[in-house]
């Protein structure tokens, strides 16, 4: 009995020595839990953590919980199923590209309606992987994620809770549009931020670039191959600081824009965006951009630079390390909390498009799968190793440390081979 108790205690102590792919967590005290409960006004049952069974479940509801149903979340669901990992996907149906008419720059899907793309992917996953990919009720929102010893308990706004070994956050970001008439209605329908996604629809047409001078110059340069009919609107009179910032980033900007590129600069702010046509296709787009001084501008499209924010608040509850307004991730997409991966627009790896979303999800899944495989292996080692060591505690310790080191090397090689 003493030997068994010793090895059980040692095993828990030995876990942090293993590769960081394992997810040993620190228990949350009730006072800590109470600090987290205000998220979305959902109360968590702190009595769940009074028993060892609740802290160290022997059976998991799912391998992975995925939060977010855009390209990143869907890609994670399919990729997990391909290696027989079960997942539950929560989708609040809040998408950054909700107002976008068509997807572009995605192989095989150029010109596809985003809703049709998501629907087609879900149907394909349902048809091919019904035993592994599962969906929470539509518009169900994850309100809390609590770390357990080797995984997580996930709460939703409909009173549900599940356990999972890993969590993938594909919650995305949202654009903070100017609080001015017409912007919200025009966003994604002629007013956009990504030249790759929407710019080609305005080739050889009139364009307005709206934003602070340094950023606006960069945006104007990014669409000059598409059209030379560009006007920059700076949001107000240029200050000395505005000009110095532009000069630092674009030396000689004033001469180049005025004498070479012939791009006029309007030192005004936009007061209202008015659509002048009832037709809804990109080829029909035309807007009258009202300014706080001078005549309005007539344009077909407008490229804007606006701030963004995290769509969900789970990063705050989990206290994830941030990089500005983005969640900081390692190259494998893992956040500062072991076992929580952040993919797509929400993370800080610097890309925001459908390809990036799907790629980052694949990278996270590869790492999550390999790390779970390692965890599962190590979980069955104590029984076998105790017997093999013949009850020799010192020998057991040496063997387990060697095993963890060897598995860590093997996992790293496997991860790289699988595309990590």
Q: Residue 416: its pLDDT value, please? A: 63
Tell me, rounded to whole angstroms, the distance of Cα 316 from its chain centroid: 14
pLDDT given at position 395: 59
For residue 55, the model assigns a pLDDT of 76
Q: Is residue 418 part of a domain?
A: no
CATH of the domain at 124: 3.50.50.60
Same-domain status, 156 and 252: no
Tokens of 55: 């802290």
162 shares its domain with 298 = no
pLDDT at residue 418, as a whole number? 58
List the one residue out of 412, 371, 410 whose CA is nearest residue 167. Answer: 371
* Start-to-end C-alpha separation, the chain: 43
CA 191 → CA 215, 221, 305, 306, distances in Å? Answer: 16, 17, 10, 11
At residue 75, the pLDDT reads 97
In a domain, 385, yes or no: no
For Cα atoms 206, 212, 216, give the angle at the middle one, nearest 5 degrees: 40
Residue 106: what pLDDT? 87
Last residue of a domain, one of 304, 320, 335: 304
Instruction: Judge if 35 and 167 occupy the same domain.
Output: yes
Query: 200 and 161 in one domain?
Result: no
**Half-sphere exposure of residue 286, counting CA atoms within 13 Å on the CB side?**
6
Are 187 and 212 within one domain? yes
- Find the helix or strand (DSSP H, E) in which 341 lies: strand 340-342
Residue 77 makes CB contacts below 8 A (sequence gap 6+) with: 66, 87, 89, 125, 133
**413: in domain:** no
Looking at residue 392, its pLDDT comes to: 56
Beta pairing, strands 297-299 & 191-192: unpaired
**Cβ atoms of residues 215 and 305 within 8 Å:** yes
- Claim to verify: residue 149 and residue 198 sit in the same structural domain: no
What is the per-residue pLDDT across 217-269, written as a single tens digit (0 to 9) for each? 999 999 999 999 999 999 999 999 999 999 999 999 999 999 999 999 999 99
Domains of the chain: total: 2
Give the residues of the chain that fall short of pLDDT 70: 1-53, 382-420
Residue 402 falls within a domain, yes or no?
Answer: no
Q: Give the chain's largest Cα–Cα span.
A: 89
CB 141 within 8 A of CB 156: yes
In the listed set 282, 304, 326, which residue is the last one of a domain according to the structure? 304
DSSP classification of residue 260 = I
- Mark which of 244, 278, 304 sits at the end of a domain: 304
List the domain range (segments joined by +) for residue 26: 20-174+309-379
Residues 298 and 329 in one domain: no
Q: What does the alpha-carbon distance between residue 64 and residue 145 come to, in Å, rounded to a whole number?
A: 12
Task: Give yes or no: residues 322 and 284 share one domain.
Answer: no
297 and 365: one domain?
Answer: no
Pairing of strands 326-327, 265-266: unpaired
Residues 260, 127 share a domain: no
Is residue 15, in this structure, part of any structural domain at all?
no
Does residue 368 sit within a domain? Answer: yes
Is pTM, for the whole model, over 0.75? Answer: yes
Q: Are residues 333 and 212 in the same domain?
A: no
Query: Do 42 and 128 fall within a single domain?
Result: yes
Q: Per the domain annotation, does 391 fall within a domain? A: no
The DSSP-derived string for 138-187 is TT--EEEEEE-SSSEEEEETTS-EEEEEEEEE---EEE---SSTTHHHHB
The verdict on residue 13 lying in a domain is no
């Amino acid at each position: 009995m003493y030997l068994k108790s010793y090895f059980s205690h040692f095993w828990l102590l030995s876990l942090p020595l293993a590769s960081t792919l394992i997810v040993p967590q620190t228990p949350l005290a009730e006072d800590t839990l109470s600090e987290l409960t205000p998220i979305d006004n959902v109360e968590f049952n702190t009595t769940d953590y009074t028993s060892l069974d609740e802290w160290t479940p022997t059976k998991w509801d799912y391998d992975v919980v995925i939060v977010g149903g855009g390209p990143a979340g869907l890609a994670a669901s399919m990729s997990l199923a391909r290696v027989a990992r079960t997942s539950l996907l929560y989708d609040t149906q809040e998408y950054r590209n909700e107002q976008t008419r068509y997807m572009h720059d995605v192989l095989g899907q150029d010109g596809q309606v985003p809703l049709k793309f998501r629907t087609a992917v879900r149907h394909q996953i349902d048809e091919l992987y019904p035993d592994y990919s599962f969906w929470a009720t539509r518009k169900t929102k994850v309100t809390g994620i609590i770390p357990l010893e080797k995984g997580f308990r996930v709460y939703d706004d409909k009173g549900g809770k599940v356990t999972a070994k890993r969590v993938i956050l594909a919650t995305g970001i949202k654009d903070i549009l100017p609080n001015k008439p017409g912007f919200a209605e025009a966003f994604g329908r002629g007013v956009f931020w990504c030249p790759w996604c929407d710019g080609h629809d305005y080739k050889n047409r009139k364009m307005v670039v709206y934003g602070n001078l340094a950023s606006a110059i960069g945006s104007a340069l990014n669409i000059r191959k598409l059209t030379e009919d560009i006007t920059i609107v700076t949001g107000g009179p240029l200050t000395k600081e505005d000009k110095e910032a532009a000069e630092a980033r674009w030396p000689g900007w004033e001469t180049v824009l005025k004498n070479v590129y012939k791009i006029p600069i309007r030192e005004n702010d936009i007061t209202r965006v008015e659509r002048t046509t009832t037709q809804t296709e990109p080829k029909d787009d035309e807007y009258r951009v009202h300014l706080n001084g001078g005549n309005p501008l007539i344009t077909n499209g407008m490229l804007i630079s606006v701030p963004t924010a995290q769509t969900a608040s789970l990063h705050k509850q989990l206290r994830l390390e941030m990089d500005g307004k983005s969640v900081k991730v390692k190259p494998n997409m893992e956040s500062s909390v072991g076992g929580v991966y952040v993919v797509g627009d929400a993370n800080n790896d610097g890309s925001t498009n459908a390809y990036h979303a799907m790629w980052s999800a694949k990278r996270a899944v590869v790492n999550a799968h390999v790390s779970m495989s390692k965890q599962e292996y190590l979980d069955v080692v104590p029984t076998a190793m105790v017997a093999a060591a013949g009850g020799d505690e010192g020998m057991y310790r040496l063997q387990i440390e060697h095993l963890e080191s060897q598995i860590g090397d093997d996992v790293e090689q496997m991860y790289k081979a699988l595309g990590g």
